[in-house]
Chain A
């Protein structure tokens, strides 16, 4: 039943590009892009409660891989390469961060993203002597939309499978109490590393898929730390421990950004900031939890009526 509904929903979403204009499609791409990033982020950070700011490192690696390899090999192979590179970097990073916790992990991952950006810049400047690469691929917005949709669907399916499988339980124990986890014989290291890598590969692909949309790739564009921050904020807002939480944080926030920047281009920052503060106070447990509460109240009313 769940499978049927999901497939129907997927089919309906996949048909969207046939019916809408360029702008709604652009919105769709933006929403799916951040939806995929936030879902991938929560894959690791939700159960373990490790807040990672390395999102843009993988995102940028994906975009850069496409920029470098696009002319050399067919597109699907480029995506595969991007995923592999993301995986290797994730494994290295994962191994380096094993002992870190809390805020130390947060800032470490931020430093890591900046280090990757600096190294890519240095390489481009000194080895290839070009900064800024052009991506001219015959890939239209609807193709990007479909690929992102596919990525999001796969990431959601993974998240669903993990929450059901033993690995998910193991992870939650790590998040609740790492000491207990190790006593229970949970292989913390291996589990964490596996999840971190999966999440990183999805982020890498999100960057790779969107690269053709920008034509021009340079470190300050694709390694922009704002991407990491927005991903965290969206996932935290939606509730990172639920399957659809990150997605339901990404959709309204993305639309909110869009609406504010269109209607209040000069006071965008102030209004956005105040809304954020209000959200923290009014929806302390994320959008989904607030919805649950609301639904429960409705049910109570019905029952009493």
Chain B
């Protein structure tokens, strides 16, 4: 080892020790050059596809937006500080997620931690966020347990509702269509055998039956199914006007392609996660028009339009029209809560998130029992936008187009 490198090493060690020592001291304004934000997200593994569209781009965009605006003002400390990011890859593993949060909390001493993508990883991370007192902004977790979880972990916030919200909204919408004579009484459901699909199908099946629909097909298929010809072939012979699939991204695309090939073009064609992805119109071509799915955005909102533009400019692709805007809004809420509190006190910020009203790209937002209850639940592709058809608070929404246009066969 040369002298030079040894000295550099010693210096580095010295700085490290100093940083550790400083971190344990009370925070003074002059010690700080930035607000430290930490997150562990799935850059590899099974969740990478979902995180890559709904979570990571929004974290990048928010940090970029805040820093371009000069940072967040901390009035009690008398400074305005930019955000500084520490990021890890949790490799889509619950164990890694938990440990990464422990690391961010105790080694990196970050001020706030953003969660990973997906219901499972947010649930796995819950106890750890709670133990260290960090607010947890679960922007991509769909769970009917949210009310209980919010009570168990006081600083956890659930932004994407539960299976019942989406299933009931869909059934209500279809009831209206049936009563107007637009569709018949027969419904076919195919659900992916994974947390999301089962949660929704469990809520939807009784709701459809209670509404007097006849469920002529209600089956699940395993995660990783690649060929949907048997399902589509069978369903297409049952005379249904409504096909519902609580599906995941690869299946969502494959189901569409198979339905087009088999020329199975029901009046209502509803799919799960992935329908709201910007890639969907590329996959389905002209046939994306009129397809329904989970989520949706307000097509007339200027804030949303501006958000789409900034997102596309920074990341190179549009956001998805379901969890992306919600995730971004959860970050806006965090930022505004920090400025209102005026310093980096985690529990004060969490209290503000729970009680305050915030101005976000979704409009004015106030959480109810730590949950975002103002959600778009059913969307439909209309004129190149995945517009919201139903909203939990009954916002003015577009009218559904039923029947959807017939498939255009590929040439």
Contact = CB atoms under 8 A, between A and B. Distances in A.
Q: CB atoms of A and B under 8 A apart anywhere in the complex? A: yes
Nearest to B87: A265
Given A23-B102, A214-B95, A226-B93, A265 B88 contact: yes
Given A213-B98, A214-B95, A216-B94, A118 B120 contact: no
Contact of B198 (A23, A129, A261): A129
Nearest to A27: B99
B95 A30 contact: yes
A54 B102 CA distance: 30
A118 B202 contact: no
A130 B194 CA distance: 9
Interface string B214-225: 000000101100
Contacts of B44: 268-269
Nearest to B202: A129
Interface in B320-365: none
Nearest to B105: A22
A266 B43 contact: yes
B107 interface: yes
A279 interface: no
Interface of A: 21-23, 25-27, 29-30, 33, 118, 121-122, 124-126, 129-132, 134, 136, 210, 213-216, 218-221, 224, 226, 257-258, 261-262, 265-266, 268-269
Interface in B116-154: 119-120, 123-124, 126-127, 131-132, 145, 152
A131 B194 contact: yes
Contacts of A261: 88-91, 96
B interface, over-half SS: helix
Given A224-B93, A266-B43, A134 B99 contact: no
Most chain B CB within a 10 A radius of its CB, from A30, A131, A258: A131
Most chain A CB within a 10 A radius of its CB, from B43, B46, B198, B220: B198
27 contacts: A23-B99, A25-B102, A26-B102, A26-B103, A121-B223, A125-B193, A125-B220, A130-B202, A131-B195, A132-B199, A134-B145, A136-B152, A214-B95, A214-B98, A215-B127, A216-B94, A216-B119, A216-B123, A220-B46, A221-B93, A221-B120, A224-B92, A226-B45, A258-B99, A261-B89, A266-B43, A269-B44
Contacts of B89: 261, 265, 268
Given A124-B198, A132-B195, A215-B126, 9 more contacts: A26-B98, A30-B99, A125-B193, A129-B198, A214-B94, A216-B120, A216-B124, A258-B99, A266-B43
B3 interface: no
Nearest to A222: B94
B198 A131 contact: yes
A215 B107 CA distance: 23
Most chain B CB within a 10 A radius of its CB, from A33, A134, A214, A226: A214
Given A27-B99, A130-B198, A215-B126, A21 B193 contact: no
B47 to A, nearest CB: 9
A9 B332 CA distance: 50
A21 B105 CA distance: 10
A5 B404 CA distance: 75
B317 to A, nearest CB: 17
A122 B193 CA distance: 8
Nearest to A33: B95
Most chain A CB within a 10 A radius of its CB, from B45, B126, B195, B223: B195
B106 interface: yes
